């Protein structure tokens, strides 16, 4: 084939390129996995040669491939293997789901489940060890809350972990206890979760590859062509977990592009990751990405660190995972090696520490070229938003959180603090770069659901009328940029993806209607027609 000829041309569609120089075209030509040219139908078809594949898209709409800036792909896949808890609306339903799972999976050593949300229960309370003992008194049972920051362990699991009334709270974590006896209730928060989860038998590399294949296929079906996945947790994960990803990539079994985020909570583990990061060049579909740290917990679990006490729990202000000096050491070390840093910060007290660390790293290492990122940035103050802008910090936001969180945010933090909660429009006005994600499996990673939430700020019933803090709603075009150009910019990938421009990767999604103009409520039921990565159809 002539080098000038495309390997494929796609035509008869409205291509929304998101490239200001040519916002909408009729056709696109691909060569060697990249966009060769865009333009009018006849213009592009003239480039085709005898061996060029021609594909008529039937008058539909094509947009740049969706890009989730922060999720947990492997956790999502592993969750599919356990007890599915998201539909439970009471503790008793959790117990019934667990019992059914035990009957259907008699060989399981541990009974694991994730996804319950106690805020949706008829009686809003966390399950206890006594509740989970009803599922199995002999097998260890661990159910993790939807946020991933809190779990409940049954008596057998606590026994195996050696957790009793004399066990001290670990740094950055806490063990809930009965106020009368001091006996653990089974509820573990933040770093205390690891006291139990470290005992769970580790999946084999083949197990990990199996669940990753399934999760990747589901992601591709949703139009995701790139995901930034926080699946490396501690130096130990650099063995099996990273190996599973590398083997899939080398075998050509990753249908989508993956940028791994690595949670390395200690300096020793960070140095171990730095060695691997420097020695592992980008693969066909896999890239090793930023250091991911946790500064606090979750709002739903009341472990997000606030400057003021919780309105519905005045005895707590949440939980910081690090003090300022500890966080500074990790961020400064990453900056010294020019490694990007992304820090989970939901509460405003945590965000203060994160911004302090970023400012010190920038001052200490002026050559640090990687954009610092804050993941979530939910409960913020206006002065913090100004500082985010001044420091050039990217905000990784999750619009899909709002339909769930809007029901309890003001009760948690008060109306005044909620005025700059999930402040997406204000971020844009201040020039803060924003990227769109889902934090899946905390919430679904369907980007169309994220677009709906960004545009309406309502739950699926339409509550509240007009949207929660409607001044922070985004337009259709702004919402789409979150999950395309925004996520690409966050990852320093704007030269390769985010718009349908000549020279960029030929990653795009075909939809039945324009997601920026259609009624946002139709996004809830809209389905992706086809997903292309490098010009090749990967789903359906």
Read off the pLDDT of residues 442-468 as tens digits, 9 standing for 90 and up: 999 999 999 999 999 999 999 999 999
Residues of the chain with pLDDT under 50: none
The residue written with tokens 């993806």 in the block is 497
Q: What per-residue confidence (pLDDT) applies to 81? A: 87
Q: In this structure, what token pair is assigned to residue 430?
A: 């201040």
CATH of domain 110-197: 3.10.310.70
What is the crossing angle of helices 348-364 and 324-336, to 10°?
Answer: 40
Distance of alpha carbon 171 from alpha carbon 315, whole angstroms: 19
Q: What per-residue confidence (pLDDT) applies to 3? A: 62
3-state helix, strand, coil in the chain (%, to 5): 35, 25, 40
Distance of alpha carbon 314 from alpha carbon 324, whole angstroms: 24
Q: What per-residue confidence (pLDDT) applies to 416? A: 86
Q: What per-residue confidence (pLDDT) applies to 170? A: 95
Three-class DSSP category at 153: strand
Q: What per-residue confidence (pLDDT) applies to 417? A: 86
Residue intervals of the chain classified under CATH 3.20.20.140 are: 205-497
Q: What per-residue confidence (pLDDT) applies to 415? A: 87
Mean pLDDT for all residues in the chain = 96
CB 119 within 8 A of CB 300: yes
Long-range contacts of 460-467 (CB under 8 A, 24+ apart): 460/403, 460/524, 463/406, 464/406
Strands (E) across 286-325 are located at 286-294
Which pTM does this prediction carry?
0.90
- For the stretch 465-475, pLDDT in tens is 999 999 999 99
Helix (H) or strand (E) holding 511: strand 508-511
Neighbour-count burial for 55-93, b at 16+ CB within 10 Å, e otherwise: bebeebbbbbbbbbbbbbbbbbbbbeebbebeebebbee
Q: What per-residue confidence (pLDDT) applies to 361? A: 98
Q: At a CB cut-off of 8 Å and minimum separation 6, what does 36 contact?
A: 6, 29, 30, 47, 502
Fold of 1-64+498-540: Urease, subunit C; domain 1 (2.30.40)
Q: For residue 381, how many other CB atoms are within 10 A of its CB?
A: 17
Residue intervals of the chain classified under CATH 3.10.310.70 are: 110-197
Alpha-carbon torsion (18, 19, 25, 27), positive or negative: negative
Helix (H) or strand (E) holding 490: helix 487-490
Q: What per-residue confidence (pLDDT) applies to 4? A: 78
Three-class DSSP category at 24: strand
The class of domain 205-497 in CATH terms is: alpha beta
- For the stretch 384-438, pLDDT in tens is 999 999 999 999 999 999 999 999 999 999 988 888 999 999 999 999 999 999 9
CB 400 within 8 A of CB 33: no
- Smallest CA-to-CA distance from 72 within 261, 347, 300 is with 261
Three-class DSSP category at 38: strand
Residue intervals of the chain classified under CATH 2.30.40.10 are: 1-64+498-540
Distance of alpha carbon 120 from alpha carbon 118, whole angstroms: 5
Long-range contacts of 463-472 (CB under 8 A, 24+ apart): 463/406, 464/406, 468/402, 468/406, 469/418, 469/419, 469/421, 469/422, 471/425, 472/422, 472/423, 472/424, 472/425, 472/426
């Amino acid at each position: 084939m002539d080098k000038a000829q495309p390997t494929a041309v796609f035509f008869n569609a409205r291509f929304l390129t998101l490239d200001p120089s040519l916002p909408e075209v009729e056709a696109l030509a691909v060569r060697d996995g990249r966009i060769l040219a865009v333009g009018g139908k006849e213009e592009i078809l003239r480039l085709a040669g005898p061996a060029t594949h021609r594909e008529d898209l039937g008058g539909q709409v094509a947009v740049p491939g969706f890009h989730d800036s922060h999720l947990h792909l492997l956790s999502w896949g592993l969750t599919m293997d356990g007890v599915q808890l998201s539909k439970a609306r009471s503790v008793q339903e959790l117990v019934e789901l667990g019992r059914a799972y035990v009957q259907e999976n008699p060989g399981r050593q541990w009974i694991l489940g994730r996804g319950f949300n106690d805020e949706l229960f008829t009686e809003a309370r966390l399950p206890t060890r006594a509740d989970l003992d009803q599922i199995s008194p002999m097998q260890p049972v661990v159910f993790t809350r939807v946020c991933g920051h809190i779990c409940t362990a049954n008596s057998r699991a606590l026994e195996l972990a050696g957790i009793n009334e004399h066990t001290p709270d670990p740094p950055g974590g806490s063990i809930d206890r009965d106020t009368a006896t001091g006996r653990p209730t089974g509820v573990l928060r933040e770093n205390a979760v690891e006291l139990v989860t470290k005992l769970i038998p580790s999946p084999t590399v083949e197990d990990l590859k199996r669940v990753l294949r399934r999760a990747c296929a589901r992601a591709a079906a949703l139009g995701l062509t790139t995901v930034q996945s926080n699946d490396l947790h501690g130096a130990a994960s650099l063995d099996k977990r990273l190996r599973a990803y590398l083997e899939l990539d080398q075998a050509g079994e990753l249908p989508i592009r993956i940028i791994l985020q690595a949670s390395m909570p200690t300096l020793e583990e960070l140095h171990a990751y730095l060695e691997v990061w420097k020695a592992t060049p980008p693969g066909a579909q896999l890239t090793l990405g930023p250091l991911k740290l946790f500064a606090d917990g979750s709002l739903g679990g009341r472990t997000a660190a606030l400057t003021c006490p919780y309105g519905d729990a005045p005895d707590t202000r949440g939980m910081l995972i690090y003090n300022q000096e500890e966080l500074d050491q990790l961020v400064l070390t990453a900056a010294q090696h020019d490694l990007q840093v992304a820090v989970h910060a939901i509460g405003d007290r945590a965000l203060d520490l994160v911004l302090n660390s970023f400012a010190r790293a920038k001052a200490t290492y002026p050559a640090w070229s990687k954009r610092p990122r804050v993941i979530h940035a939910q409960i913020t103050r206006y002065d913090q938003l100004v500082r985010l802008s001044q420091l050039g910090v990217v905000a990784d936001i999750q619009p899909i959180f709002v339909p769930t969180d809007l029901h309890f945010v003001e009760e948690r933090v008060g109306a005044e603090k909620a005025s700059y909660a999930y402040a997406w429009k204000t971020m844009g006005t201040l020039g803060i770069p924003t990227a769109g994600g889902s934090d899946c499996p905390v919430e679904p990673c369907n980007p169309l659901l994220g677009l709906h939430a960004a545009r309406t700020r309502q739950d699926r019933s339409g509550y509240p009328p007009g949207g929660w803090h409607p001044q922070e709603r985004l337009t259709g075009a702004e919402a789409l940029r979150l999950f395309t150009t925004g996520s690409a910019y966050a990852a320093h990938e704007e030269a390769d993806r985010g718009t349908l421009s000549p020279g960029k990767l030929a990653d795009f999604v075909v939809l039945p209607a324009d997601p920026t103009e259609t009624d946002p409520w139709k996004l809830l039921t809209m389905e992706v027609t086809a997903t292309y990565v490098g010009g090749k159809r990967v789903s359906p």
